[in-house]
Structure 1
Amino acid sequence: MARLPHISSVSNVYYGQDPHLDAWLLHFMLENNIEHLVNPRVNASAEQLRFMVDIDEGQLFAPCTDWMFANLLQTRMSPDLKKEYLQTWKKLIFLIRNYSSDDFVKKKVLSLCKHILGKVLRSPFMIPSRLHKRMLDIFLSQNTLQDPYRERKCTYNRRALEFMHTPGFFRFISSCPSSTMSCEKIQDLRWELDLLELKRFFCLSTWDSIWQEEDFAPDQQEIEQELSRSWQDFREVMTSLFGPENVYRIKILYLPSQSGGLVYDMQVIKNLIRQGHKVTLALKEGFYYEYPTLWDCYADSVLAHLLSEASFLEESQASKNDFLKKQRENNLVVISDGSRERLNLYRTSVTFSRAWKESDLVIAKGLGNYRRLIQNSCAFTRDILCLFRDEDYEVKFEFKSKSSRVRKITEKEILAKAENIKKQMAEVRRQGQRVLFYSAIIGSIPGQTRTALRVLNTFVDYIRSRMSGTFIINPAEHFEQGMDGDDLMYMWEIVQRSGLIDVWRFQSVRDIEKSFELMGERVPPVWAGKDATFSTGCTKEMHIALDVQKKYPEMQIIGPSPEQFFRRREYGVGKFFDANIEKEPEQYASF
Structure 2
Amino acid sequence: MKTSREPSRVRDIRLGRDVRFDAWLYSMLMDNNLAYRMNPDIIASPEQLAFMVQLDDDQVYLPCSDATFAMLRVDGRPRKLQAQYNRAWRIIMRLIRSMVQDRAERRRILHFCRYRFLQYVAQGTLIPSRLVKRMTDLVLAQSYSLGDPWRERRRASTLRQQEMLELPAIRDNLEAMPDGELPPDMRGVRRLLDSLELVRFFCLSAMAKDWQEQLPSTPEIHQAMRQAEQAAAPLHEYFLNAPRPSTILFLCDADGGILFDLAMLQSLIRMGHRVICAVKAGFYFFAPTMDDMESDPALECWLRGGIVLRETQIGKNDLLRHLREHRMVIIDDGTRERLNLYRVSVTFSRAWKEADVVLCKGWRAADIFLGTSHAFTRDIICYWRSESGFRIELRRHAPEARKFSEEAIAIQADAIIKKMREARSQGRSVMFYSCVIGSIPGQTHIAVTLARTFVDNLRKKMDNILIINPAEHFVEGMDGDDLMFMWERVQRSGLIDVWRFQTVEDIEESFALLGRKVPPAWSGKDSTYSTGCTKEMRIALDMQSRNREMQIIGPEPRLFFRRGEYGVGKYFDASISRLTGR
TM (norm. structure 2) is: 0.94
For 1:54-453, what aligned pairs fall within 5 Å after superposition? 54-100=54-100, 106-107=106-107, 109-142=109-142, 143-177=144-178, 179-208=179-208, 212-213=212-213, 217-229=215-227, 234-241=232-239, 243=240, 248-257=244-253, 261-390=257-386, 392=387, 394-453=389-448
Structure 1 window deviating more from structure 2 (23-32 vs 325-334): it is 23-32
- Tell me if the contact between 2:66 and 2:372 (Cα under 8 Å) persists in the aligned partners: yes
Structure 1 window deviating more from structure 2 (392-401 vs 99-108): it is 99-108
* Residues in 2 aligned to 1:471 and 1:397: alpha-carbon distance in whole angstroms: 55
Alignment CA distance shift 1:534-1:365 (3 Å): same
Alignment CA distance shift 1:468-1:237 (3 Å): same
* Residues in 2 aligned to 1:27 and 1:41: alpha-carbon distance in whole angstroms: 19
SS at match of 2:90: helix
Structure 1 window deviating more from structure 2 (19-28 vs 363-372): it is 19-28
Q: How far is the alpha carbon of 1:86 from its aligned partner?
A: 1.3
Query: Which residue does the alignment assign to 1:31?
Result: 31
**Residue type of the partner of 1:148?**
P
Structure 2 gap ranges (5+) = none
Structure 1 window deviating more from structure 2 (120-129 vs 216-225): it is 216-225
Q: How far is the alpha carbon of 1:240 from its aligned partner?
A: 2.2
SS at match of 1:327: helix
For 1:492-507, what aligned pairs fall within 5 Å after superposition? 492-507=487-502
Q: How far is the alpha carbon of 1:184 from its aligned partner?
A: 3.1
Q: How far is the alpha carbon of 1:493 from its aligned partner?
A: 0.7
- Tell me if the contact between 1:326 and 1:333 (Cα under 8 Å) persists in the aligned partners: yes
Measured against aligned partners, the alpha-carbon deviations of 1:188-216 in whole angstroms (never above 9, x if no partner) come to: 12222222211211111122356633xx5
Q: How far is the alpha carbon of 1:230 from its aligned partner?
A: 5.3
Alignment CA distance shift 1:415-1:98 (3 Å): same
**Residue type of the partner of 1:222?**
E
Q: How far is the alpha carbon of 1:172 from its aligned partner?
A: 2.2
Alignment CA distance shift 1:429-1:39 (3 Å): same
- Tell me if the contact between 2:53 and 2:375 (Cα under 8 Å) persists in the aligned partners: yes
Measured against aligned partners, the alpha-carbon deviations of 1:121-140 in whole angstroms (never above 9, x if no partner) come to: 22212211112212212222
- Tell me if the contact between 2:294 and 2:308 (Cα under 8 Å) persists in the aligned partners: no
* Residues in 1 aligned to 2:557 and 2:111: alpha-carbon distance in whole angstroms: 55
Please give the root-mean-square deviation of Cα atoms over the aligned residues, in Å.
Answer: 2.2
The answer to whether structure 1 residue 533 and structure 2 residue 531 are counterparts is no
- Tell me if the contact between 1:316 and 1:349 (Cα under 8 Å) persists in the aligned partners: yes
Structure 1 window deviating more from structure 2 (88-97 vs 360-369): it is 88-97
- Tell me if the contact between 1:485 and 1:576 (Cα under 8 Å) persists in the aligned partners: yes
Query: Which residue does the alignment assign to 1:588?
Result: none
Alignment CA distance shift 1:2-1:375 (3 Å): closer
Structure 1 window deviating more from structure 2 (216-225 vs 165-174): it is 216-225
SS at match of 1:504: strand
**Residue type of the partner of 2:165?**
M
Alignment CA distance shift 1:83-1:4 (3 Å): farther
Pairing partner for 1:457 from 452, 455, 458? 452
Structure 1 window deviating more from structure 2 (53-62 vs 35-44): it is 35-44
* Residues in 1 aligned to 2:542 and 2:576: alpha-carbon distance in whole angstroms: 23
* Residues in 2 aligned to 1:256 and 1:431: alpha-carbon distance in whole angstroms: 56
- Tell me if the contact between 2:231 and 2:391 (Cα under 8 Å) persists in the aligned partners: no
Alignment CA distance shift 1:153-1:247 (3 Å): closer
SS at match of 1:580: helix
Query: Which residue does the alignment assign to 1:558?
Result: 553
Structure 1 window deviating more from structure 2 (131-140 vs 369-378): it is 131-140
Alignment CA distance shift 1:40-1:209 (3 Å): closer
Alignment CA distance shift 1:493-1:300 (3 Å): same
SS at match of 1:517: helix
**Residue type of the partner of 1:381?**
T
Higher share of residues assigned helix: 2
Pairing partner for 1:481 from 460, 476, 500? 476
For 1:8-27, what aligned pairs fall within 5 Å after superposition? 8-27=8-27
**Residue type of the partner of 2:53?**
V
- Tell me if the contact between 1:337 and 1:349 (Cα under 8 Å) persists in the aligned partners: yes
Alignment CA distance shift 1:121-1:258 (3 Å): closer
Structure 1 gap ranges (5+) = 584-591
Q: How far is the alpha carbon of 1:469 from its aligned partner?
A: 2.1
* Residues in 2 aligned to 1:360 and 1:85: alpha-carbon distance in whole angstroms: 35
The answer to whether structure 1 residue 513 and structure 2 residue 514 are counterparts is no
Alignment CA distance shift 1:90-1:259 (3 Å): closer
Measured against aligned partners, the alpha-carbon deviations of 1:215-263 in whole angstroms (never above 9, x if no partner) come to: x55324422431342566612313323x1x5554211111121575222
Alignment CA distance shift 1:374-1:152 (3 Å): same
Runs of 4 or more off by more than 6 Å in structure 1?
none
**Residue type of the partner of 2:408?**
E
- Tell me if the contact between 2:439 and 2:572 (Cα under 8 Å) persists in the aligned partners: yes
* Residues in 2 aligned to 1:34 and 1:159: alpha-carbon distance in whole angstroms: 38
SS at match of 2:313: coil
Q: How far is the alpha carbon of 1:176 from its aligned partner?
A: 4.1
**Residue type of the partner of 1:419?**
D
Measured against aligned partners, the alpha-carbon deviations of 1:157-192 in whole angstroms (never above 9, x if no partner) come to: 111110111221233223444x41332322112222
SS at match of 2:53: coil
* Residues in 1 aligned to 2:559 and 2:3: alpha-carbon distance in whole angstroms: 52
* Residues in 2 aligned to 1:298 and 1:410: alpha-carbon distance in whole angstroms: 30
- Tell me if the contact between 1:434 and 1:502 (Cα under 8 Å) persists in the aligned partners: yes
Q: How far is the alpha carbon of 1:154 from its aligned partner?
A: 0.7
**Residue type of the partner of 2:50?**
R
Alignment CA distance shift 1:519-1:360 (3 Å): same
Measured against aligned partners, the alpha-carbon deviations of 1:516-546 in whole angstroms (never above 9, x if no partner) come to: 1111111112222222222211122122222
The answer to whether structure 1 residue 472 and structure 2 residue 470 are counterparts is no
Alignment CA distance shift 1:368-1:529 (3 Å): same
For 1:48-59, what aligned pairs fall within 5 Å after superposition? 48-59=48-59
* Residues in 2 aligned to 1:144 and 1:536: alpha-carbon distance in whole angstroms: 43
Q: How far is the alpha carbon of 1:336 from its aligned partner?
A: 1.1
* Residues in 2 aligned to 1:250 and 1:57: alpha-carbon distance in whole angstroms: 30
* Residues in 1 aligned to 2:254 and 2:25: alpha-carbon distance in whole angstroms: 33
Aligned residues: 577
* Residues in 2 aligned to 1:462 and 1:166: alpha-carbon distance in whole angstroms: 75
